[in-house]
């Protein structure tokens, strides 16, 4: 995972080009999370991938060895054969090392996790009193950061605690009592631990809010405000988000002081993803149509998105009954079962993973050949993040959306 985060994503530097139609904004409506969704123009789901061999490479201003970080940290990085930072790392690391507040605008897969871990580990090692709170929207993203953290902090003796729902609460409490330098968690579990008086944020002087737009979509804004308000007034605050809507700008104005803004230009959708719709005829059985699609030889690693937890579980069970190697991840599953399903999907033990939007952001699952929107997403931003699970790096991919 850390290898992917460090790898240069040169394609993300290209500007969005034309497509089959513009996304039309309609009057907004509230959804069950309190977020505002947009009407969707189905023509945006039809777009051929742009195949090109020649790209303009990103020319970084730094190498990792150029940053003013501890020699042991440089050694940890170079040991894994990382030489040049990605654009978000190149633009952010030096400012974070200088103690500046920062807004990083970048999609998943651009290396932003390392962009904040590298300088914060350096600062924590040089000043043992430094404590870092990293808040993310989903358990999977928290686990991914926790997985990447040891690679950079190897040999520094820094402790970390992972605080997420669906996992052993008492193990997390024990980890917190060891006074870790890094606490990584989801808003709900962090708030719960604060209320139990086992997590005291008054000594934390660094905060990272990752995937801020997603956390606001999920209704976590009040939890975020509470958590940050309990931290040291003199702190370093880092916001990372794929987009910068008005709500995030207002939140940043409340918590950040004279922030540096680092923005990685991205296309609206992946250049090497073929996008199309599967239009159902009147009376046609949706499940049967999906079954026939999945029988095609090219569907070797397929991620299917549904809207509800119950619907996702029913779909996965139905596929298994039909003889497919499939599993599901959603909020009603225990953390252990979710991790096992993700591991089996990554390792090729199963060919199909059915998921709610909890899997749409922050996850780096290699070699997904197809993304299927079995249920139409709530809005176009969710669509972008869903289909971004395929066609990553130089790989090609296909995204299909069922339309009735």
**pLDDT tens column, 83-104:** 889 899 999 999 999 999 999 9
Residue 15 in domain: yes
The CA angle 150-153-157, to the nearest 5 degrees, is: 105
**pLDDT tens column, 284-340:** 999 999 999 999 999 999 999 999 999 999 999 999 999 999 999 988 888 788 889
3-state secondary structure (DSSP) of residue 385: helix
Contact 164, 185 (CB under 8 A): yes
Are residues 223 and 81 part of one domain?
A: yes
Quote the pLDDT of residue 269.
53
Question: Any residues with CB less than 8 A from the CB of 115 and at least 6 apart, and which?
Answer: 85, 86, 88, 89, 92, 93, 96, 104, 240
Residue 59 in domain: no
CA–CA gap between residue 393 and residue 374 (Å, rounded): 25
**pLDDT tens column, 235-266:** 999 999 888 878 888 889 989 999 999 998 65
Please give the DSSP secondary-structure letter assigned to residue 197.
Answer: T
Q: How many CB atoms lie within 10 A of CB 257?
A: 11
The residue that leads in pLDDT, 15 or 402, is 402
- Give residue for tokens 């931003």: 381
Are residues 332 and 277 part of one domain?
A: yes
Are residues 122 and 32 part of one domain?
A: no
Q: Is the pLDDT of residue 36 over 70?
A: no
Question: Any residues with CB less than 8 A from the CB of 281 and at least 6 apart, and which?
Answer: none
Quote the pLDDT of residue 46.
64
Q: Is the pLDDT of residue 20 over 50?
A: no
Residue 342 in domain: yes
Listed residues 263, 293, 322: the one ending a domain: 263
Q: Mean pLDDT in the chain?
A: 83
Are residues 31 and 142 part of one domain?
A: no
Sheet (strand 326-329) strand order: 273-279, 397-403, 370-373, 302-305, 352-355, 326-329
Q: How many CB atoms lie within 10 A of CB 170?
A: 8
Q: Is the pLDDT of residue 41 over 50?
A: yes
Q: How many CB atoms lie within 10 A of CB 174?
A: 12
Q: Provide the pLDDT confidence category of residue 52 given band limits of 50, 70 and 90.
A: very low
Are residues 337 and 217 part of one domain?
A: no
Are residues 232 and 352 part of one domain?
A: no
Burial class (CB in 10 A: 0-12, 13-18, 19+), 285: exposed
Are residues 83 and 188 part of one domain?
A: yes
CA–CA gap between residue 141 and residue 164 (Å, rounded): 10
Q: Helix (H) and strand (E) counts for the chain? A: 14, 15
Are residues 207 and 76 part of one domain?
A: yes
Contact 295, 324 (CB under 8 A): no
Are residues 258 and 294 part of one domain?
A: no
Stretch 146-174: mean pLDDT, rounded?
87
Q: Is the pLDDT of residue 67 over 70?
A: yes
What are the C-alpha distances in Å from 201 to residues 132, 137, 168, 198, 246? 10, 19, 21, 10, 27
Residue 288 belongs to domain spanning? 2-54+269-403
Q: Per-residue DSSP letters for 335-365?
A: HHHHHHHHHHHHHTS-SEEEE-GGGSSS---
Domain containing 277 — which CATH number? 3.40.50.300
373: phi > 0 → left, psi -120 to 50 → alpha, else beta; which? Answer: beta
Listed residues 263, 284, 317: the one ending a domain: 263
Q: What is the total count of domains within the chain?
A: 2
The residue that leads in pLDDT, 241 or 59, is 241
Listed residues 263, 282, 307: the one ending a domain: 263
Q: Is the pLDDT of residue 55 over 50?
A: no
Are residues 281 and 257 part of one domain?
A: no
Bridge-partner residues for 371, per DSSP?
Answer: 303, 399
Q: What is the CA radius of gyration of the chain?
A: 21
Q: Provide the pLDDT confidence category of residue 51 given band limits of 50, 70 and 90.
A: very low
- Give residue for tokens 């190149």: 90
Are residues 108 and 163 part of one domain?
A: yes
Are residues 274 and 255 part of one domain?
A: no
């Amino acid at each position: 995972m850390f290898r992917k985060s460090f790898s240069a994503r040169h394609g993300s530097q290209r500007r969005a080009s034309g497509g089959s139609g513009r996304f039309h904004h309609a009057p907004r409506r509230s959804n069950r999370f309190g977020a505002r969704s947009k009407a969707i123009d189905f023509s945006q789901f039809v777009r051929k991938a742009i195949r090109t061999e020649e790209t303009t490479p990103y020319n970084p201003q730094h190498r990792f060895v150029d940053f003013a970080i501890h020699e042991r940290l440089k050694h940890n990085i170079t040991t894994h054969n990382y030489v040049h930072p990605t654009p978000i790392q190149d633009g952010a690391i030096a400012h974070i090392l200088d103690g500046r507040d920062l807004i990083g605008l970048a999609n998943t897969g651009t290396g932003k996790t390392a962009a904040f871990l590298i300088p914060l580990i350096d600062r924590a090692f040089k000043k043992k009193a430094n404590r870092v709170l990293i808040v993310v929207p989903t358990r999977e993203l928290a686990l991914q950061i926790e997985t990447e953290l040891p690679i950079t902090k190897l040999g520094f003796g820094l402790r970390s605690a992972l605080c997420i729902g669906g996992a052993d609460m008492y193990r997390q409490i024990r980890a917190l009592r060891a006074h870790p330098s890094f606490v990584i968690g989801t808003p709900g579990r962090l708030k719960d631990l604060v209320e139990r008086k086992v997590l005291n944020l008054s000594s934390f002087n660094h905060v990272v809010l990752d995937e801020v737009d997603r956390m606001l979509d999920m209704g976590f804004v009040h939890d975020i405000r509470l958590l940050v308000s309990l931290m040291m007034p003199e702190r370093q605050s880092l916001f990372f988000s794929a987009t910068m809507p008005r709500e995030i700008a207002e939140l940043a104005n409340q918590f950040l002081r004279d922030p540096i803004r680092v923005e990685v230009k991205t296309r609206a959708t992946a250049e090497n993803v073929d996008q199309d719709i599967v239009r159902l005829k009147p009376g046609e059985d949706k499940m049967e149509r999906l079954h026939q699609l999945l029988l095609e030889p090219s569907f070797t690693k397929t991620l299917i998105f549904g809207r509800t937890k119950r619907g996702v579980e029913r779909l996965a069970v139905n596929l298994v009954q039909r003889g497919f190697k499939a599993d599901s991840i959603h909020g009603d599953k225990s953390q252990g079962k979710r991790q096992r399903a993700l591991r089996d999907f990554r390792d090729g033990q199963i060919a199909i993973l059915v998921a709610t939007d909890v899997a749409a952001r922050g996850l780096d699952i290699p070699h997904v050949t197809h993304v299927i929107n079995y249920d139409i997403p709530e809005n176009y931003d969710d669509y972008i993040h869903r289909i971004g699970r395929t066609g990553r790096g130089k790989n090609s991919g296909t995204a299909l959306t069922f339309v009735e």
